[in-house]
Chain A
Amino acid sequence: MPTADDIETADRLTRRRARMLPVLAIIFLTQQASYFASVVEDGTRTVDHVKIGAWLVLSIVMLLALTTGGFWFKPARIRALMDDEVTRANRTEGFRIGFLAAMISAIVLYFVTLFEPVSGREAIHIVMTVGLAAALLRFGSLERRALKDG
């Protein structure tokens, strides 16, 4: 059974996570904006590889944090408390919204390609970014609501 200290630590970390999630989503979106503003021409320059690599690493980290709840170096009992029923329900809702956003962006991109060429890499970039950011924002907002004292 968790101790009072475990409950307090989990509560503090859960609040920190709820504050961090929207900030991470905004950082993630901002990084994509700078990527598209500089337009990676053919993606063969070293700097392009670095940019794409950085985006891919950040995307994987975000996805893992969203899926597992993050705080990987904390004790298992604290992480279990932070991954309770409410968190799992909020995460599921976040994934639902993220999936929906990704599908909508894919549909929009499909129509855009009828008038403007979009490379496969750009399309994947947009769909992943929109899906991940939407999931992060939804999960974060639900977690913040859950932490409000009623």
Chain B
Amino acid sequence: MAERLSNRLHDLRAERDLTQAALAELVGVSRKTINTVENGIFIPSTLLALKLARALGRPVEEIFSLDD
């Protein structure tokens, strides 16, 4: 069983030249939420993962993946 969820949020955000605050504004969450998801401290809900994917214009599985 995979125990960890990896994410490319930081890279994809940087690609689009977005700050954490700017992405937070697009998604409608706090900057803390973006920060904790990026750092792997917090595993987002499906709803938040989908919102992040929509804001970045990428499919969810391109942002999040299981550490096998």
Give A residues with C-beta under 8 Å from B.
1-4, 7-8, 10-11, 14, 81-82, 84-87, 89, 145-147, 149-150
Contacts and interface: CB of A to CB of B under 8 A. Distances in A.
A4 B29 CA distance: 11
B35 A150 contact: yes
Given A7-B24, A14-B32, 7 more contacts: A1-B28, A10-B30, A11-B30, A81-B29, A86-B33, A145-B41, A146-B35
Contact of A86 (B25, B28, B32): B32
B39 interface: yes
Q: Would you call the interface of chain B mostly helix, strand, loop, or mixed? A: helix
Given A85-B48, A149-B35, A3 B25 contact: yes
A89 B42 contact: yes
Q: Would you call the interface of chain A mostly helix, strand, loop, or mixed? A: helix
Interface residues on B, range: 10 to 19
A85 B24 CA distance: 13
Interface of B: 21-22, 24-25, 28-33, 35-36, 38-39, 41-42, 44-45, 48
A7 B35 contact: no
A89 B45 CA distance: 11
Smallest CB-CB A-B distances: 3 pairs: A150-B39, A81-B30, A146-B36
Nearest to A149: B35
A146 B28 contact: no
Given A11-B31, A146-B42, A4 B36 contact: no
Given A81-B30, A146-B41, A7 B25 contact: yes
Contact of B38 (A4, A145, A150): A150
B42 A8 contact: no
Contacts of B44: 85
A7 B42 contact: no
A20 to B, nearest CB: 16
Contacts of B22: 4
Nearest to A150: B39
Contacts of A84: 29-30, 32-33
Contacts of B36: 86, 146
